[in-house]
């Protein structure tokens, strides 16, 4: 194994690879035939106006609980009895999946792959929220060495077993990897098992990816 292949970038998916649903209200409203401004919950962009988001951040409910509630709310707006997040996401994003991918992600992935480093996705609900067929419409996912999805394992971050399983699949120790996530509890879980971390700021995605590359000894322009 080369020295480069002894390092890895591990990414959460929703919010890190993709723009959040809060950032794409306009796309969702257009896809669902809703009037502009109908969707006004802003989560991390305006937590004071989103009590349910505050409860999730306080640990009173899970992220899954939050999005299941929003799924039911939006479904009711369009006359649908949605019970699964994937139903919401397919309806909101199915027509334009690439439109919700962060350009900063593509730049960082290119830098990491060019340097020969490994890459992984560690998600609590990739297929649960997006649907398994969503992967087929995003060819860049084939470039990842590992995709570890708790949709199937049932072991969610910040459980240390989730990080351990991803590291085992990569064949690397925690000290050789950088983990990026937009949820503080998941960052804390990663730090507890020895991973270097980047708390992803959804309002400053370029800065967050730049920090991850820096921790890996890379820059987007110069490589290793």
Whole-prediction pTM value?
0.89
| 153-191 per-position pLDDT tens digit | 999 999 999 999 999 999 999 999 999 999 999 999 999
Q: Strand 118-123's sheet: what is its strand order?
A: 146-149, 118-123, 8-11, 177-181, 196-199
- Quick one: average pLDDT of 20-48? 95
Residue pair 123/144 in contact by the 8 Å Cβ criterion? no
Residue 1 has a pLDDT of 55
Percent of the chain with pLDDT over 70: 95
Residue 224 has a pLDDT of 43
pLDDT band at 128 (very low <50, low <70, confident <90, very high): confident
- pLDDT tops 90 at residue 129: no
Residue 101 has a pLDDT of 94
pLDDT band at 222 (very low <50, low <70, confident <90, very high): very low
Domain ranges of the chain: 4-18+101-215, 25-97
pLDDT band at 223 (very low <50, low <70, confident <90, very high): very low
Residue 56 has a pLDDT of 93
- Quick one: average pLDDT of 104-121? 97
| 47-73 per-position pLDDT tens digit | 999 999 999 999 899 888 999 999 999
Higher pLDDT among residues 51 and 96, named by residue: 51
Span of 72-86, 126-140, 167-181, 186-200 with lowest mean pLDDT: 126-140
Average pLDDT, the chain: 92
Residue 192 has a pLDDT of 98
Q: In this structure, which CATH number among 3.30.300.30, 3.40.50.1000, 2.170.150.20, 2.60.40.1220 belongs to the domain 4-18+101-215?
A: 3.40.50.1000
């Amino acid at each position: 194994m080369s020295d480069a292949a002894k390092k890895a970038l591990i990414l959460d998916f929703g919010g890190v690879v993709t723009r959040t649903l809060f950032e794409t209200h306009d796309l969702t409203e257009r896809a669902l035939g809703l009037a502009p401004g109908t969707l006004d919950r802003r989560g991390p962009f305006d937590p004071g106006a989103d009590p349910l988001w505050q409860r999730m951040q306080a640990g009173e409910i899970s992220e899954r609980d939050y999005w299941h509630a929003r799924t039911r709310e939006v479904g009711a707006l369009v006359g649908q009895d949605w019970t699964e997040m994937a139903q919401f996401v397919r309806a909101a994003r199915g027509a334009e999946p690439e439109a919700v991918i962060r350009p900063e992600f593509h730049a960082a992935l290119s830098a990491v792959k060019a340097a020969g480093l490994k890459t992984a996705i560690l998600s609590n609900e990739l297929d649960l929220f997006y649907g398994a067929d969503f992967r087929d419409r995003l060819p860049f996912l084939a470039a990842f060495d590992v995709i570890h999805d708790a949709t199937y394992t049932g072991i969610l971050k910040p459980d240390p077993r989730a990080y351990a399983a991803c590291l085992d699949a990569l064949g690397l120790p925690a000290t050789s990897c950088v983990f990026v996530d937009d949820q503080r509890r998941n960052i804390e879980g990663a730090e507890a098992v020895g991973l270097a971390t980047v708390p992803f700021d959804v309002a400053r995605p370029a800065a967050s990816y730049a920090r991850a590359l820096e921790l890996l000894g890379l820059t987007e322009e110069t490589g290793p």
